[in-house]
Amino acid sequence: MIKGYKGIPMPVRYLINAGLFVVFLVVVSSLTDAKVISTYNNKIIMLIGINIILAVSLNLATGYLGQLPLGHAGFMAVGAYASAIFMKAVIKTLPLGLSLPLGLLIGGLVAAVFGFIIGIPALRLKGDYLAIITLGFGEIIRVILLNIDSVIGFKLTYGAAGLKSIPKTTTFLDTFICVFLVCFVIHAILKSRHGRAVLSIRENEIAAESCGINTTYYKTMAFVMSAFFAGVAGSLYAGYIGILDPTGFGFMKSIEILVMVVLGGMGSMIGSVISATVLTALPEFLREFDAYRMVVYSLLLVVVMIFKPTGLMGTYDFSLSRLLGKPWERLTSGGKSKKAGDR
Amino acid sequence: MKKILCIALVLIFAFGALAGCGSGGTNTTPSASPSASADGSASPSASGGAANGGTIKIGILGPLTGEAAQYGIAVSHGAQLYIDQINDAGGINGKKIETVVYDDKGDPTESVNAFSRMVDEGITGLIGPVTSKPTLAVVDEALTYNMPLITASATAAAVTYNADTQTVNTNVFRTCFIDPFQGEKMAQFANDVLKAKTAAVIFQTGDDYSVGLKDAFVAKCEELGINVVDQEGYSKGDKDFKSQLTNINSKSPDVVFSPNYYEDDGMLVTQARQAGIKATFMGGDGWNNVSKYASPADLEGSVYCSGYASGSTDEIKAFEAAFTAKYSGETPDMFSAQAYDAAIVLLDAIKAAEEKGLEAGSDDYKAAVIDAMKNTTSVGLGGKYSFDEYNNPIKSAVIMKLADGKETFSQMF
């Protein structure tokens, strides 16, 4: 990468990250098995995982690409329905080890197709216009899910009655493996040439275009990826809750996800992860306070936006090499070198 | 340095919260409801985790905030009233009933989370959830714990019967009518009492309740030979129904069935009269409190079916007086009454399980409660309860008529 870079070599960094993640998985699952973490807390942790995927995937379009799509819940809904219908159909014939990854993939792919269809016209627009058109598409998806049965003539989404008895396949392990994969893929892409192109579009679209970057291509790519991961999150949600109902995927759900991204800091993955965690867990921890809990939730948003308008983390991103770079250098070169690698 | 300090503090706080919650789930007594905090401080925390030594815990779950809060609050108040009455009379088998009340905002995810938390806190039965979607989600979850569940207001047929696997959810009961039942009753009423020959329907597309009632009404009408001349749909949030109502007016039906919620019904009736429709309006139990949303002259003669008629019997009068006294002047509605009945059915069943000498909270105990509910002979405000093969209550509907701007009891049907 950078010439003269003296930080931790890349494979080691990836190994450390992966190791930390495996430790996290093992600790939480064994605590759950030992009933230290109750079913209730386990459920909240799963929900946190799903919301992290949603926030991180929206962050790709909002924070890194610099667009403001308001239809994220629509992609989540499409993914959720697609995978739920698939899982209901195959749960008895295919083993879970096969059907679950397939279900997640189908959820993601169908959402990605919708993302592509919507992205092509929508991404020609900028700012407010893009927000409005994606909002419109999000609502269209919801209305289609609600009414498609009477058009096609057989029961597919079960409309307002809700899609029921979806196999409850989502577990803590699936959720967090997905969280890890999503974060890893987004991170890896951002560090690649494609990611730099995406970031340059955020900074200045005209300058990026004059440098020869195919802005339409990269905008669509980021948008479709964002939709894909939202679809995966939707699939996980379907297997978590067991019943889907289009009204749950309305405009407010999109805003809820956007709030997570903005609160965490647009363009900061660790910010999205932290704020998704806090905003999911907080209302649950505050249950004792009854009706006041939503006041606390709203107050938190107001206070953060007043005192830190860029969000909790700004554009800061967690970097293992920055954290461990100095100790590593001392370890390898006997403390001679002074300059730590930046990234 | 400052940054590291910040991060460290955040981490400490986060882990503290997690750890606090982990232990909170099993040990501490919640102070969510007034009664729980009142006797919660006195109740022995020494009895620890599984506990329930001197108390029996019951969950009440519903939307206390958000769009459907009106229903949720009515349900929680109604159920709490009966539980407090039992506690004042000495509890069951010397044990006090402790309630755990949580808000689900009418959202399935919140509802499932709150229910899991209640299970952690060791409830033996659940009254709620209130709205159909959260109930369906919770029912799925309750099955895995074989948790006795009785809802006072979830009318979707699928709550007690899973059509996919063709199995009855044995642990789930309700004290309200199901959607198809109301639609059929009103079609029968239109035929028998109103002598209608033609009918029109205006319903909210995409609403489970509205569509459920409409479908049952239309099917029953065809069976009875009533000609359904027009079916008009509108979307959630619509305020202007003129085009639909003009269509209906051109077909001049004898009755118009409007299976919607009171706010929409009020607007519909008002605009229908403006459009020149003279037909009698009929509705389901969503019409409760409609009298505040349209003028008496427009509403005159409209009928709806309900599970509850204010002031119709001595028991109901006593219930209303107690309710108003407890909740500083609030008047109970159908939801409070059905929740009160739900509490009666559940507590009677718990009493039966207690008499068998089983340990509260154990699997046998829950099975005994479910068994007792299935064969219940409890007498509630809606008369004597019994459940059919699908765990739906067998009782007759109350027909309410609007006269002089008041919703008055017309007849049992």
Cα Rg of chain B (Å, integer): 23
Please state the rounded mean pLDDT for residues B94-101.
Answer: 91
Q: How many CB atoms lie within 10 A of CB B144?
A: 10
Cα nearest neighbour of B236 on chain A: A247
Mean pLDDT of chain A: 87
Strand partners, B303: B282, B401
Q: Do B208 and A38 touch (CB under 8 A)?
A: no
In this prediction, residue B358 carries a pLDDT of: 81
β-pairing verdict for B398-403 and B303-306: antiparallel
Q: Measured between beta carbons, which residues in chain B are less than 8 angstroms from residue A147?
A: 205-206
Looking at residue A65, the DSSP 8-state letter turns out to be S
B357/B80: higher pLDDT: B80
Q: Rounded to whole angstroms, how far apart are CA atoms B380 and B175?
A: 10
User: Is the minimum CB–CB distance between A155 and chain B shorter than 8 Å?
Assistant: no
In this prediction, residue A186 carries a pLDDT of: 93
Please state the rounded mean pLDDT for residues A158-170.
Answer: 86
Instruction: Decide whether B30-177+310-381 matches B180-306+401-412 in CATH topology.
Output: yes
Q: Measured between beta carbons, which residues in chain A are less than 8 angstroms from residue B27?
A: none
Give the A window 90-149 contacts with B, CB below 8 Å.
Answer: 143, 146-147
Q: What is the pLDDT of residues B117-149, one digit of tens each?
A: 999 888 999 998 998 889 999 998 898 889 999
Q: What is the pLDDT of residues B301-325, one digit of tens each?
A: 999 988 888 888 888 999 999 999 9
- Going by pLDDT thresholds of 50, 70 and 90, the confidence category of residue B44 is very low
In this prediction, residue B3 carries a pLDDT of: 57
Could you give the residue ranges of the DSSP H alpha helices within B171-307? 179-192, 208-224, 242-251, 262-274, 296-299
Tell me which fold the domain B30-177+310-381 belongs to. Answer: Rossmann fold (3.40.50)
In this prediction, residue B16 carries a pLDDT of: 41
- Going by pLDDT thresholds of 50, 70 and 90, the confidence category of residue A329 is confident
User: Is the minimum CB–CB distance between A292 and chain B shorter than 8 Å?
Assistant: no
Residue B405 amino acid letter: G
Q: Rounded to whole angstroms, how far apart are CA atoms A173 and A25?
A: 7
Looking at residue B152, the DSSP 8-state letter turns out to be S
Q: Do B32 and A288 touch (CB under 8 A)?
A: yes
User: Is the minimum CB–CB distance between B31 and chain A shorter than 8 Å?
Assistant: yes
Q: Is the pLDDT of residue B25 over 70?
A: no
User: Is the minimum CB–CB distance between B26 and chain A shorter than 8 Å?
Assistant: yes
In this prediction, residue A94 carries a pLDDT of: 86
In this prediction, residue B8 carries a pLDDT of: 52
Q: Do B158 and A161 touch (CB under 8 A)?
A: yes
Please state the rounded mean pLDDT for residues A109-126.
Answer: 91
Q: Is the pLDDT of residue A337 over 50?
A: no
Tell me if B153 sits within 8 A of B261, measured CB to CB: no
In this prediction, residue A5 carries a pLDDT of: 56
Delimit the domains of chain B by residue range.
30-177+310-381, 180-306+401-412
Kindly state which CATH superfamily the domain B180-306+401-412 is placed in.
Response regulator (3.40.50.2300)
Q: Is the pLDDT of residue B333 over 80?
A: yes
Q: Do B117 and A147 touch (CB under 8 A)?
A: no
Cα A62–Cα A64–Cα A65 angle in degrees, nearest 5: 70
Reported residue count of chain B is 413
Cα nearest neighbour of B162 on chain A: A165
B326/B66: higher pLDDT: B326
Tell me if B183 sits within 8 A of B214, measured CB to CB: yes
Q: Measured between beta carbons, which residues in chain B are less than 8 angstroms from residue A242?
A: 137, 140-141
Counting one residue from chain A and one from chain B, the pairs whose CB atoms sit within 8 A come to: 100
Which uninterrupted H or E stretch holds A297?
helix A293-307
Q: Give the pair of three-digit tokens for residue A113.
A: 């197709």
User: Is the minimum CB–CB distance between B178 and chain A shorter than 8 Å?
Assistant: no
- Going by pLDDT thresholds of 50, 70 and 90, the confidence category of residue B155 is confident
User: Is the minimum CB–CB distance between A168 and chain B shorter than 8 Å?
Assistant: yes
Chain A: closest CA distance from residue B207 (Å): 5
Q: Rounded to whole angstroms, how far apart are CA atoms B228 and B215?
A: 11
Q: Give the pair of three-digit tokens for residue A310.
A: 């860029």
Q: Measured between beta carbons, which residues in chain B are less than 8 angstroms from residue A274?
A: 10
Q: Measured between beta carbons, which residues in chain B are less than 8 angstroms from residue A285?
A: 17, 21
The candidate with the shortest Cα–Cα distance to A175, out of A73, A54, A67, A316, is: A54
The candidate with the shortest Cα–Cα distance to B231, out of B191, B190, B203, B197, is: B203
Please state the rounded mean pLDDT for residues B259-264.
Answer: 90
Q: Is the pLDDT of residue B234 over 80?
A: yes
Task: Supply φ then ψ for residue A199, to 5 degrees.
Answer: -65, -35
- Going by pLDDT thresholds of 50, 70 and 90, the confidence category of residue B36 is very low
Q: Measured between beta carbons, which residues in chain A are less than 8 angstroms from residue B165?
A: 165
Task: Supply φ then ψ for residue A38, to 5 degrees.
Answer: -75, 170
Measure CA of the first residue to CA of the last residue in chain A; give whole Å. 9
Q: What is the pLDDT of residues A189-207, one digit of tens each?
A: 998 999 999 999 999 999 9
Of B32, B136, B206, which has the smallest distance from its Cβ to A147's Cβ?
Answer: B206
Q: Reduced to 3 states, what is the DSSP secondary structure of residue A143?
A: helix
- Angle between the N-to-C axes of helices A127-152 and A72-90, in degrees from 0 to 180, rounded to the nearest 10: 30
Q: Do B208 and A291 touch (CB under 8 A)?
A: no
Q: Is the pLDDT of residue A19 over 80?
A: yes
User: Is the minimum CB–CB distance between A162 and chain B shorter than 8 Å?
Assistant: yes
Q: Measured between beta carbons, which residues in chain B are less than 8 angstroms from residue A247?
A: 133, 206
B88/B361: higher pLDDT: B88
Q: Do A241 and B212 touch (CB under 8 A)?
A: no
Chain A: closest CA distance from residue B297 (Å): 34
Handedness of CA A58, A59, A62, A66 (dihedral sign): negative
Cα separations in angstroms, B64 against A53, A201, B111, B221, B324: 29, 46, 12, 37, 19
- Going by pLDDT thresholds of 50, 70 and 90, the confidence category of residue A116 is very high
β-pairing verdict for B96-103 and B125-127: unpaired
Q: Measured between beta carbons, which residues in chain A are less than 8 angstroms from residue B207?
A: 160
β-pairing verdict for B280-283 and B255-257: parallel
Please state the rounded mean pLDDT for residues B362-382.
Answer: 88
Q: Rounded to whole angstroms, how far apart are CA atoms A207 and A57?
A: 25
Q: Is the pLDDT of residue B12 over 80?
A: no
- Going by pLDDT thresholds of 50, 70 and 90, the confidence category of residue A330 is confident
Q: Is the pLDDT of residue A328 over 80?
A: no
Looking at residue B300, the DSSP 8-state letter turns out to be T
Q: How many CB atoms lie within 10 A of CB B187?
A: 26
Residue by residue, DSSP assigns A299-329 as: HHHHHHHHH-TT-SSTT----HHHHHHHHHH
Q: Is the pLDDT of residue A127 over 80?
A: no
Residue by residue, DSSP assigns B143-186 as: HHHT--EEESS---GGGTEETTTTEE-TTEEESS--HHHHHHHH
Cα nearest neighbour of A242 on chain B: B137
Residue B129, preceding bond cis, omega within 30 degrees? yes
Q: Do B117 and A40 touch (CB under 8 A)?
A: yes
Residue by residue, DSSP assigns A209-235 as: HHTT--HHHHHHHHHHHHHHHHHHHHH
Q: Give the pair of three-digit tokens for residue B100.
A: 């755990």
Q: Do A168 and B140 touch (CB under 8 A)?
A: yes
In this prediction, residue B37 carries a pLDDT of: 35
pLDDT > 90: percent of chain B: 46
Tell me if A145 sits within 8 A of A79, measured CB to CB: no
Cα separations in angstroms, A149 against A159, B116, B273: 7, 33, 33
Q: Give burial (CB, 10 Å; 0-12/13-18/19+) of B328.
A: exposed
β-pairing verdict for B255-257 and B227-234: unpaired
Of B26, B64, B109, which has the smallest distance from its Cβ to A241's Cβ?
Answer: B109
Give the B window 275-334 contacts with A, CB below 8 Å.
Answer: none
Cα B222–Cα B227–Cα B229 angle in degrees, nearest 5: 125
Q: Give burial (CB, 10 Å; 0-12/13-18/19+) of B302.
A: buried
Tell me if B154 sits within 8 A of B129, measured CB to CB: yes
User: Is the minimum CB–CB distance between B180 and chain A shorter than 8 Å?
Assistant: no
Cβ neighbors of B220 (< 8 A, separation 6 or more) are B183, B184, B187, B188
β-pairing verdict for B227-234 and B172-174: unpaired
Q: Do B113 and A47 touch (CB under 8 A)?
A: yes
Q: Give the pair of three-digit tokens for residue A227.
A: 């939709």
In this prediction, residue B4 carries a pLDDT of: 55
Handedness of CA A280, A282, A285, A286 (dihedral sign): negative
Chain B: closest CA distance from residue A228 (Å): 22
User: Is the minimum CB–CB distance between B362 and chain A shorter than 8 Å?
Assistant: no
Chain B: closest CA distance from residue A216 (Å): 37
Tell me if A126 sits within 8 A of B185, measured CB to CB: no
Could you give the residue ranges of the DSSP H alpha helices within A123-249? 127-152, 172-190, 193-203, 205-210, 215-241
Looking at residue A258, the DSSP 8-state letter turns out to be H
Q: Measured between beta carbons, which residues in chain B are less than 8 angstroms from residue A264?
A: none
Q: Do A291 and B103 touch (CB under 8 A)?
A: yes
Poorest-pLDDT segment among A82-91, B27-36, B227-236, B351-360: B27-36
User: Is the minimum CB–CB distance between B60 and chain A shorter than 8 Å?
Assistant: no
Tell me if A287 sits within 8 A of B32, measured CB to CB: yes
Q: Rounded to whole angstroms, how far apart are CA atoms B386 and B247?
A: 43
In this prediction, residue A128 carries a pLDDT of: 83
